[in-house]
Structure 1
Amino acid sequence: MENTTPDALPERIRMRTAAFSVHIFTALGAGIALLAMLEAVREHWANMFGWLGVALIIDGIDGPLARRLDVVRRAPNWSGEVLDLVVDFVTYVFVPAYAITASGMLLPLAAPLLGIGIVVSSALYFADRRMKADDNHFRGFPALWNAAAFYLFLLHLSPVISTLIVALLIALTFAPFHVLHPLRVVRLRWLTLWLLAAWAVLGMYTLANDFEVGAPITFGLCAIAAYIIGSDTVIRRMKALKS
Structure 2
Amino acid sequence: MRTDGGTRAAPEVFSPAFRLAGAAVHLYTASGSVLGLLTVLAAIEGAVETALWLGLATLFIDGTDGMLARHFRVKETIPWFDGALLDNIVDYLTYVFAPIVLLWTTGHLPDGAAGWALAAVPLLASCYQFCRVDAKTSDHFFLGFPSYWNVVAFYVIVLDTSEAVTAVALLVFAVLVFVPIRYLYPSRMRALRGLTLAFTLVWLVTYAVLVVQLPDPAPWLVAVSLSYVVYYWGLSFWMTARGAGARRAARSLQGSQGD
Query: TM-score when scaled to structure 2?
Result: 0.83
User: Deviations along 1:174-226, whole A, 9 cap, x unmatched?
Assistant: 01222222222212112211211111111100111224212111111111111
Percentage identity across paired residues of the two chains: 29
- Structure 2, unaligned runs of 5 or more: 1-10, 250-259
Cα distance in 1 between the residues matched to 2:242 and 2:88: 34
Cα distance in 1 between the residues matched to 2:66 and 2:24: 13
Match of 2:46 in 1: 43
Between stretches 73-82 and 228-237, larger displacement belongs to 228-237
Q: Cα offset for 1:14?
A: 2.5
- Secondary structure of 2:104's counterpart equals helix
User: Deviations along 1:11-48, whole A, 9 cap, x unmatched?
Assistant: 73333222212211111111111111111111211211
* Runs of 4+ deviating beyond 6 Å: none
The reply on whether 1:66 has 2:90 as its aligned counterpart is no
8 Å CA contact retained: 1:110, 1:163:
no
Match of 1:160 in 2: 164
Cα distance in 2 between the residues matched to 1:82 and 1:235: 27
Match of 2:122 in 1: 118
Kindly report the root-mean-square deviation, in angstroms, between the aligned alpha carbons of the 2 structures. 2.1
Cα distance in 1 between the residues matched to 2:68 and 2:241: 37
Q: Cα offset for 1:236?
A: 5.6
Cα distance in 1 between the residues matched to 2:61 and 2:141: 21
Cα distance in 1 between the residues matched to 2:30 and 2:239: 37
Match of 2:255 in 1: none
8 Å CA contact retained: 1:49, 1:207:
yes
User: Deviations along 1:126-157, whole A, 9 cap, x unmatched?
Assistant: 01112123432222211011011111111112
Q: Cα offset for 1:235?
A: 5.3
Cα distance in 2 between the residues matched to 1:90 and 1:135: 26
Cα distance in 2 between the residues matched to 1:166 and 1:123: 15
Residues 229 and 21 of structure 1: CA distance in aligned 2, closer, same or farther (over 3 Å): same
Which of 122, 135, 141 matches 1:137? Answer: 141
8 Å CA contact retained: 1:46, 1:211:
no
